[in-house]
Amino acid sequence: MKIVNIIFLVIFLSITSIGCDKSVIESSDFNSDIIGDEKVSDKTDSNLSDSDIFEVLPITPRQMVKKMGVGVDATWSEVPKKIADYTQKATKAFADKGFRHIRLRVAEDNVSKVWDYLDNQIKDALKYDMIAIIANQSHTFEDNPTPQNQAAWVKWWKDMAMHYRDYPYELMFDLIVEIAASSPLSNEPIDRLNEAYEEVVSAIRATGGNNKKRIIIFSAHKRSDPKKMDMLKIPSKGGGYLIGEFHEGYASGPKKDPSKSQYYEFGTQKEIDNITQRVKAAAEWSERTGIPVWEGAWMPGNYNKGDTYSIEEQKRFAKDFVGVLNSYHIPHAINATKKFYDVQTNEWTRLEPVVDYILSLKNQ
């Protein structure tokens, strides 16, 4: 009789154990979309609970910049035509090339419209082992930083943070893509900008989940000028999970006009010094504050203003530009996907040799 009771007890415990393991099985649902062999579905559920992803430790900013490597700014999260044309193939193409992070620039003020496409784009990036960065264009707030527009901007980020609160730490938030030199937010002293950063970082942290220790990226005014970073006040709720972004100077590529500070044509020491001055300013700010930095947007050529650099000239500039960044161990993102890849045809453009060359310059 005792033997029978023992058998029944073993069976009962086995059934209970299987029931307890259900949450473990369910927790793989989100990850199977990201790392499984099957193609991600066109529409996926983004309202993830804690049981939908694996438990992972937060990624420190120092660890993150080492993981970021070479990245790219995406227009398929920003431009309506590109949004419509986007498929997972585009993200896979960049990941297969060796890109390790993607800055998903968002221009839509209505967050509920953004999630329809951004959820899948983020999951596609994570599936192919790319760090995803949501970057808010913030045009309304940037152009007219009234108290009402600031409140709406903070709410945008609060809603966005709540939506993605349980996503993996490989997702980061980039508060403002760029503050134009003409924006009132660039007026010095930058009290309004510092106040906005303080408010929005506190709001994001308050949403809980992984956002308590998710990395938040912030930048200086006047087109993310590294020489202006000392004017930034570090948000009190940063909690040690912040990265500083800079890109002023070469976001739209070098210039062949010798009167411009972005002048680059022959790779002379003076031309390289122009690059170094900006990067060094960011590196020195990082050293003083303990906050790592990232070069968030640069072009190998002047694609938007004449496109006058040959492929070989672009490679020469890339070698010097990336060489300076690598000497300071700073990750970087090229600007932007539409210049290098046709999302409608899923083919690389004539600039593919430039892409391959840049990726060969990875910081070892």
Under the banding of pLDDT at 50, 70 and 90, the label for residue 363 is: low
Other CB atoms within 10 Å distance of the CB of residue 172: 23
* Contacting residues for 20 by C-beta, under 8 A, at least 6 apart: none
| pLDDT over threshold 50, residue 1 | no
Under the banding of pLDDT at 50, 70 and 90, the label for residue 362 is: confident
Q: What is the pLDDT at residue 170?
A: 98
Among 124-128, 343-347, 359-363, the least confident range: 359-363
User: Which one has a higher pLDDT value, 44 or 330?
Assistant: 330
Q: Is the dihedral of CA 215, 221, 227, 228 positive or negative?
A: negative
Q: Look up residue 5 and give its two tokens.
A: 């009771």
Q: Look up residue 247 and give its two tokens.
A: 């890109």
CATH topology of domain 61-359: TIM Barrel (3.20.20)
Q: Look up residue 361 and give its two tokens.
A: 């310059």
Q: Look up residue 64 and give its two tokens.
A: 């993150």
Q: What is the pLDDT at residue 248?
A: 86
Q: How large is the average pLDDT for residues 170-190?
A: 97
Under the banding of pLDDT at 50, 70 and 90, the label for residue 50 is: very low
Q: What is the pLDDT at residue 53?
A: 40
Q: Indicate the residue type of 1.
A: M
In contact, 196 and 154? CB cutoff 8 Å: yes
Q: ∠268-328-128 over CA atoms, to 5°? A: 110
Other CB atoms within 10 Å distance of the CB of residue 349: 13
Distance, CA of 355 to CA of 349 (rounded, Å): 10
Chain segment 192-245, per-residue pLDDT in tens:
999 999 999 999 999 999 999 999 999 999 999 999 999 999 999 999 999 999
Distance, CA of 45 to CA of 40 (rounded, Å): 11
Q: Enter the DSSP assignment of 335.
A: E
In contact, 108 and 77? CB cutoff 8 Å: no
Other CB atoms within 10 Å distance of the CB of residue 212: 15
Chain segment 79-136, per-residue pLDDT in tens:
999 999 999 999 999 999 999 999 999 999 999 999 999 999 999 999 999 999 999 9
Q: How large is the average pLDDT for residues 274-299?
A: 98
Return the percentage of the chain with pLDDT > 70, whole number: 84
Distance, CA of 153 to CA of 174 (rounded, Å): 13
| pLDDT over threshold 60, residue 29 | no
Residue 10 CA: distances (Å) to CA of 13, 14, 37? 5, 6, 36
pTM above 0.75, yes or no: yes
